[in-house]
Every structure is written in C-alpha cells, then in structure tokens.
Amino acid sequence: MQPGQPKGNGKYAHGKTGLRRILHTVIHSRDGFVATFKGEAAFRQLLLLHGALATVALLLDVSRSERALMLMVCFVSLLVELLNSAIEAVVDRISLEHHPLSKNAKDMGSAAQSTALLMVATVWAVVLLG
C-alpha cells in the first residue's frame, strides 16, 4: 500500500487519533485560512466588510437573537468564500486552459458567494428596517 492511500476499509492510514488528530486539523485549518488570506483579494475584502458589520452588530440596539443572526450570516459568507477559493484552486490545479466545465465550476462558486451576500443584505435589512 502506498503512503497516504486508503486501506481496504476506505480509511486513511495516517495514524492520527484523539488530540493529535485535532491538533493537526487545527494546523491544516490555519494553513488554509492563511493561504486564502494571502492569495485571495476577495477574501481580504470580505474580512474587512464583515469585520465592520460585526462591529456594528455588536453596537446596535437589537435583540440577542437578531444580533446572533446578523453575525451568523457574516460567518456564512466567509465560509462560502473559503469553499469558493478551494474550488478555484482545485480547478486551477487540474488545468489552467479554458474549459466550459472549469468555467461552470468557478461561476457556480461565485454564484454561491453572491447568494451568501444577498442573504447578508436580506437579514440585515429585515433586522434594521423591520
């Protein structure tokens, strides 16, 4: 069996369990966050936007559940951008040549982020204007 290949039961033989597995998960998550921050201007822009929105949400006179919802949709948008960036990285890893399926994958990731931002705007508008 090659290193890094799954065993016959479909599980990878990395040997990490318990706290060691959690530590490695945190390290890989940090690496993904840093790579996205360094490589994706859109992610940096969204961090600024949602950082500002989070600050405003904490200062507004709204209920705890409204504040939680306003903060939650900001985190959802950041999560969608992380996934969108991952899709783009995989598509670019496969090939940099133009292909309709590559375009579709990138456009779908962009559409997901647009939908997330629409959700942010809708929730904020309902809370502030409702």
The yes-or-no answer on residue 81 being catalytic is yes
- Name the 3-class secondary structure at 2: coil
- C-alpha pair distances (Å), 40 with each of 15, 43, 89, 122: 33, 5, 10, 25
Distant-in-sequence, close-in-space partners of 29: CB < 8 Å, separation ≥ 6: none
Q: What are phi and psi of 12, to 5 degrees?
A: -80, 145
Do 85 and 36 meet the contact criterion of CB atoms below 8 Å apart?
A: yes
Which of 40, 81, 88, 97 is an active site residue? 81
> Active-site residue numbers?
81
